[in-house]
Amino acid sequence: MAENKLLKDIKKFIFQEFKTKLSSEFVYHNYNHTLDVVKAATEIGVAEKLSDEDLETVIIAAWFHDIGHINSYKNHEDESKKIAKEFLEKKKFPETKIQQVLNCIEATKIPQSPKNLMEQIICDADLFHFGCDDCFEKGDLLRAEWEILGVSEFTDASWYENTINFMKEHRFFTDYAFKKLNGKKAENLLKVKEKLKKAEVKSTEASEKKKAKKAAEKKKEAKESRPERGIETMFRVQLRNHIKLSDIADTKANILLSVNAIILSLMLSQLAPKLDKHSNAYLIAPTLIFLCSSLLTMIFAILSTKPKITSGTFNKDDIKKKKVNILFFGNFHKMPLSDFEWGINSIMNDKEYLYGALTKDLYFLGKVLDKKYRLLRTTYTIFMIGIIVSVITFIIAFYTIDKPMMTNF
């Protein structure tokens, strides 16, 4: 069919509208796509032996079917119909034919629903590329357009899956399109399925790599979040020094216990049998003083070495709230193994909690040492004073009692 003046005016109008008003983000729904649809509609219309009048109507609809994108992406068919109606009314185009044009544009809505041959032709022309070699090129343009405009985003696998579903639901309506395009469409569908398989394998590999990378980063973060070497050394040295001081205190207490145990044994075995004699009455006071000082020394030495064990009944909630130092055995000796392992893993992965626990451990070891050494100081003082007072009492008792006995003699 020869291009008449009306069609030339429409072509010029559509070109100017797309050129001046359409955003460059429309990489698929643009003048080139419209031109392809017009050519396809002409080819199918001629093959289906449409009358020149009806073919003109279909071509007009093809020119206007996507012009609505200049105003809105959503429901662009409605915008296209408004623009087409306004233009055609100005050109005094018959009202009945205007309605046919509008019906053809409406039929291109997805899912397509043509009601007559003219509508079937424009529907087939709109998706003509499904049966062509450039099917995937056009599909890539549509995907890019959706992503640029924020309509939708796809992974490769989801895009191919979406394309497969759409192509399965689609069908060519006209005999000409079915005969010419359906075979190639089937080939394209098989190619999309192959692309989907490759995309799924690639996606799985990428997912595995991402997981491995995430695990490596997590491991690195966990490693970085642990104490630095200098801080570890500081805590290790200080805790070792505290433990050594505690051992020294215990050793000193044991020495005093041993010495006073020997003293008590000797006094009880050597002096006690002699105290019942009247002549040895002067030994009672110094012996009692010595016995009492030795006994007190032993009591304080025992107190300085007496262990203190906490209840050990802390639970997961206490650990979560950081109320307990799980590094001290007195706090976990009654906990189930699973809870203890969970607590240790928690503290290892929490740098702040770990530092806090080590600091508290160091602090309370210092408090224990303070108590030990204060008791030891008291123990040594008692032992020293007891020996001095006992010796002085022995001397005084010996001389005050011994002199009268020598005079009488």
pLDDT digits (tens, 9 = 90+) for 195-224: 999 998 988 888 888 888 888 887 777 666
The two three-digit tokens of residue 25, written as one number? 């983000």
Q: Is residue 221 part of a domain?
A: no
Query: Where residue 167 falls among pLDDT bands split at 50, 70, 90?
Result: very high
The two three-digit tokens of residue 255, written as one number? 């020495």
> Which of helix, strand or coil describes residue 115?
coil
Domain range holding 246? 229-408
pTM higher than the cut 0.85? no
Better-scored residue on pLDDT, 284 or 65 = 65
Q: What's the farthest any 2 CA atoms get from each other in the chain?
A: 168
Q: Is residue 385 part of a domain?
A: yes
Same domain, 295 and 197: no
Q: How far is CA 7 from CA 66, 105, 250, in A?
A: 16, 16, 110
Same domain, 238 and 357: yes
Same domain, 152 and 272: no
Better-scored residue on pLDDT, 350 or 48 = 48
Q: Is the pLDDT of residue 174 over 80?
A: yes
Whichever domain contains 103, its CATH number is 1.10.3210.10
Same domain, 276 and 365: yes
Same domain, 199 and 258: no
Query: Where residue 280 falls among pLDDT bands split at 50, 70, 90?
Result: low
Number of domains making up the chain: 2
Q: Is residue 135 part of a domain?
A: yes
Better-scored residue on pLDDT, 253 or 103 = 103
Q: Is residue 184 part of a domain?
A: yes
Same domain, 189 and 249: no
d(CA 123, CA 101): 13
Question: Which of 163-172, 175-184, 397-406 has the weakest average pLDDT?
Answer: 397-406
Same domain, 78 and 159: yes
Mean pLDDT confidence for 230-242: 73
Residue partners of 388: CB distance under 8 A and separation at least 6: none
Same domain, 203 and 334: no
Q: Is residue 222 part of a domain?
A: no
d(CA 168, CA 57): 30
Question: Token match 């997590």: residue?
Answer: 218
Q: Is residue 66 part of a domain?
A: yes
Q: Is the pLDDT of residue 343 over 80?
A: no
Per-residue pLDDT, 381? 86
Q: Is the pLDDT of residue 361 over 70?
A: yes
Query: Where residue 50 falls among pLDDT bands split at 50, 70, 90?
Result: very high
Mean pLDDT confidence for 62-74: 94
Fill in the DSSP letter of residue 130: G
Phi-psi region of 226 (alpha: psi -120 to 50; beta: other; left: phi over 0): beta
Percentage of the chain exceeding pLDDT 90? 45
Domain limit, last residue, from 215, 244, 270: 215
Query: Number of helices and strands (H, E) in the chain?
Result: 15, 0
Phi-psi region of 312 (alpha: psi -120 to 50; beta: other; left: phi over 0): left
Mean pLDDT confidence for 305-334: 63
Same domain, 183 and 240: no
Question: Which of 146-150, 188-192, 321-325 has the weakest average pLDDT?
Answer: 321-325
Same domain, 320 and 384: yes
Same domain, 238 and 195: no
Same domain, 322 and 261: yes
Q: Is 127 exposed, middle or buried (0-12, 13-18, 19+ CB in 10 A)?
A: buried
Query: Where residue 407 falls among pLDDT bands split at 50, 70, 90?
Result: very low
Q: Is 43 exposed, middle or buried (0-12, 13-18, 19+ CB in 10 A)?
A: middle
The two three-digit tokens of residue 308, written as one number? 């203190």
Better-scored residue on pLDDT, 380 or 160 = 160
Residue partners of 15: CB distance under 8 A and separation at least 6: 31
Q: Is residue 224 part of a domain?
A: no
Q: Is residue 223 part of a domain?
A: no
Domain limit, last residue, from 157, 186, 215: 215
Q: Is the pLDDT of residue 405 over 50?
A: no
Domain limit, last residue, from 215, 247, 279: 215
Q: Is the pLDDT of residue 301 over 60?
A: yes
At how many degrees (to 10) do helices 351-408 and 337-348 cross? 110
- Give the Cα-Cα-Cα angle 45, 48, 49 (nearest 5 degrees): 85
The two three-digit tokens of residue 53, written as one number? 């009048």
